[in-house]
Structure 1
């Protein structure tokens, strides 16, 4: 494993917090995951960085050396990012869109729509399962726009100088193997899935807690939850290992079906974010409009969602006389 900047940030966070537990809270990760990451970093550096005691952790001699270098390197990189961001925001003859997003089809659909709207634009993308990381990249100027999301009405991620606007709100569907006994049903009650194991993609929002709460309201506790990437999630569902949780815009996929839940116990709010002072109003209007068009196009790629929308769309108001 090669040492990366994120590893130096982790080491500094542990030293500043004085304990792995507090550092895990500050970083928004589970304490066992942070401990495992620290062990990998220590193996890469060839020695122990922290001595663990009853009252927390203390840097070893090697740890002090690494921390001394980190205190020089990290501010220098931050300054470089800020300068690069200022340069990137300088008006250029050719439009450039640096887009970020989480998993799912919406990011690709937005690229397609922008290519139609601004044919000469240069578009680059990057993805992360972490909404907080995407928000950080926006704040640092490494992205122009980010597609992220929140569970239900939870607050958007990131700093106060970021602006978030709603693209759309989707119900959360369940994903079943095509041969599952309930796969032929048009709609499922969450309680009917009480005996299943579950799978979803990772995230650092409140979705896991909201899902557990929805299960509790249905009278059960989930047996197991696999957090994995999208391809592995589809595989686990297809072979019958688990029932998946997915956004309703998840495209139809061979071997699996997606179905809505009675009463829509879980929803997902798609958001578009940008830095408050970095974007012109006209650019924001273009990207936001294309993001909403992209969502509408993606939604029709799932037959179950199309059916659900037809049943739940509010009726048109009567014509005026």
Structure 2
């Protein structure tokens, strides 16, 4: 009889259960059937593996030797199967294109456009998404292999999320605009001075990092301390602006809609860098060049839909989508 993996599983099960009867119950076998299989295994290995009496089953010296090998062999084979499954899953499309792609994204305008770009360019690619307000959480998910890539943002010149070992590439750098009600007296201006908004209440979508501190510092340079900074979802931010209860800090490509208008802040005191990150050993890392190109195109498409930001970029060429660059590690 040639030994198979199931035979080593039986040996480990008997040793861990301490008796043939308990091992048979664990394995879902009848006790006589398990006893007969164990006898055949022992004959194949040349001697008894267990001493059996009324107290149970204890490994013999030969049994200890076989157990030590089985406890190495079984996890190794299980790991091999998992790696082979991942390889087969990621090798089903030509070239470096994986068969599935898991995308993470913090609050931002690019995820939908990137999914559209992927669907158009790779119709057989299965894309799933995970959204969180926390860039640090998304970076941890990339490091743990729960998502393949993540879109994230950081304030000004701040470093990428602190998860070590990831590669980050900057897609774009944008100024922060303010979202005003179209009834606000400053809504028709080409730009607003931050100090002219000293008496208002503020709103923004939530996020981690230093943005709140940078905003407070910009207000201090403008000569005032902000009264309130509401952190809430996009829909509630728009409601606060429409009702006149707050002015909201927003990204410059905010899609125009009735009742609100996005206006630049004079001097652009607040900036936001939009990043894409991945792990160099991730299962879809070989797809990084293609994905960065598609993400950049998705970002350019979003900008093109904003007439105001497009006009702004003509006079401020340092902002917007960045030229291709080498990756940076964190």
Aligned twin of 2:216: 212
Which residues of 2 match residues 239-318 of structure 1 at below 5 A? 239-279=243-283, 282-313=286-317
Offset at residue 279 of structure 1 (A)? 4.9
Deviation, structure 1 residue 276: 1.7
Q: 1:133 aligns with which of 106, 124, 137?
A: 137
1:88 & 1:100 partners in 2: Cα distance?
A: 20
Q: Hey, what does 2:147 align to over in structure 1?
A: 143
Counterpart of 2:109 (choices 73, 88, 105) is 105
Q: In the aligned structure 2, how far is the partner of 1:84 from the partner of 1:218?
A: 57
What is the Cα-based RMSD across aligned positions, in Å?
A: 1.9
Q: Secondary structure at 1:97's aligned position in 2?
A: strand
Describe the SS at the equivalent of 1:138.
Answer: helix
For residues 38-63 of structure 1, what are the alpha-carbon distances to aligned partners after superposition, in whole Å with 9 as ceiling and x for unaligned? xxxxxxxxxxxxxxxxxxxxxxxxxx
Quote the Cα distance in structure 2 between the aligned partners of 1:223 and 1:261.
18
> Is residue 2:163 matched to residue 1:163?
no
Equivalences, count: 232
TM-score normalised to the size of structure 2? 0.67
C-alpha distance in 2 between matches for 1:84 and 1:236: 50
Q: Distance in 1 between matches of 2:85 and 2:221?
A: 51
Corresponding position of 1:30: none
Where do 5+ consecutive residues of structure 2 fail to align? 1-80, 94-98, 319-330
Deviations 1:155-212 (A, max 9, x none): 1003221111000101100000111111000111111111110000111110000000
Q: TM-score, normalised by structure 1?
A: 0.69
The DSSP-based 3-state class of the residue aligned with 1:273 is: strand
> Are positions 1:124 and 2:123 aligned together?
no
Preserved CA contact (<8 Å) 1:104 1:250: no
Give the structure 2 partner of residue 184 of structure 1. Answer: 188
Please tell me whether Structure 1 or Structure 2 has the larger radius of gyration of its CA atoms. Answer: 2
